[in-house]
Amino acid sequence: MNDLELVERFRADLPPADPAALSRARARMFHTPPPPRRRWAWGLVPAGALAAAVTVAVVTARPEDPAPTAVPTAPTTSAPVTAIDAAGVFRLAAAEARTQPALVAKPGQFVYVESIDATDNVENLETKPTWVPPKEINRKIWLAADGVKAGLLRTTVVKTGEVNEMPLDGRTAPAYVTDLPTDSKKMRDWLYSGPDTGNGADATAWNKIGDTLREQYLPPDAQAAIFEAAATIPGTTLVKQADVAGRKGIAVSRLADSKDVRFDYIFDARTYDFLGERVVVVGDLKPYPKGVVSRWTAQLRVAIVDRAGQLP
C-alpha cells in the first residue's frame, strides 16, 4: 500500500464528499455533523504531490513549551516515580489505571464521552492547495452501554458556538466494553489480531490502541492491560513535553513507515492519566508546513448517564 492509499483510508468513517465542492470537501471534516468516531482518518485526499502515510491517532513531532500542568497529590515522603523511556510511560499509565474505580452501567444506560477534537483542512485542492489550521470541535456523545438504544452526538464549534446534533442508530456494539482481555499477553495477542491493513503488524497494533480507547468505556483492568501491551510494541520514543488542546503532558510517539507523519498518545506527566492523541506532520509533505499538528483529540470526561442528551 502506498502513501496516497493510506491517506485515503485514514478517516474512512466520514461521509462521502459533496460532489458540488469536490475540490475542498475531501479535505474538510466538520461541515456536517460527523458520525460516531470509532476510527480516525485524515480528511485529506491529495492530488499528485500530496502524499502522506497515516492511519490512526496522534502526538507531537517537536518538543513543546514548558512543564506539565501540576495536579494536586497527597503528601508523600518519597520522590514520585518518573518514566525514563516510552515503555515506562505505558507501564506507569497501566499502574495508574488499575487504581481507578470502575464505572458501573446498568442495561439501558449510556456511556457519555466528552472530548475536544480538531482537524485541519486543505483548500483549493485541485488548483493551489492551501493548508488551513485545525479548528476545535467540542464533542459530546452518548452511546448505549449495552448497544441497544439509539444514541446522540452533539458537536459545538469552539470558536463560533455553532451547535449540531445527530441521532445515532441503536443496535450497535456495546459502548461499555466487557469482552477485552485483562492479561497483558492476551491483550497483546488481541492488538496484533485482525485483518492485514497493509501498514505492518506493529503499526496496525499501535493504531488499534487509539481506536479502542476512543469514545467507549474500558474497565480499569482492560485499560491497564492495553497500556502494558502497548509497552511491548517496538519503534516508540518518549516525548518529554507534549500538549493536547492546552493540556500539557508526556507522550509516547511512533513514526509512520514513510517517516512523514508521527502519532503519539499523551499522558499526564505526574499522574500518567491518559489525556489524548495527536498527529503531527514531520516530513516534507506539501502543502503542510513541516512540524504542524494536523489533528488532535483530548478526552475530557467519561461517565455513565441514564439517557441520551443527559449531562453527568
DSSP 34-68: ----SS--------TT------S----SS--SSPP
Tell me what pLDDT residue 113 has. Answer: 98
Tell me what pLDDT residue 80 has. Answer: 63
| Cα(162)–Cα(299) distance, integer angstroms | 20
Query: Which residues of the chain are under the pLDDT cut of 50?
Result: 1-35, 37-38, 41-79
**Backbone dihedral region of 309: left (phi > 0), alpha (psi from -120 to 50 degrees) or beta?**
left
Tell me what pLDDT residue 177 has. Answer: 97
Tell me what pLDDT residue 183 has. Answer: 97
**What is the dihedral sign for C-alpha 42, 241, 244, 110?**
positive
Q: Which of 102, 95, 140 shows the shortest CA–CA distance to 273?
A: 95
- Specify whether the CB–CB gap between 30 and 155 falls below 8 A: yes
Q: Which of 295, 300, 305 shows the shortest CA–CA distance to 58?
A: 295
Q: pTM of this prediction? A: 0.75
Convert the pLDDT of each residue in 189-201 to its tens digit: 999 998 878 889 9
Tell me what pLDDT residue 14 has. Answer: 39
Tell me what pLDDT residue 261 has. Answer: 93
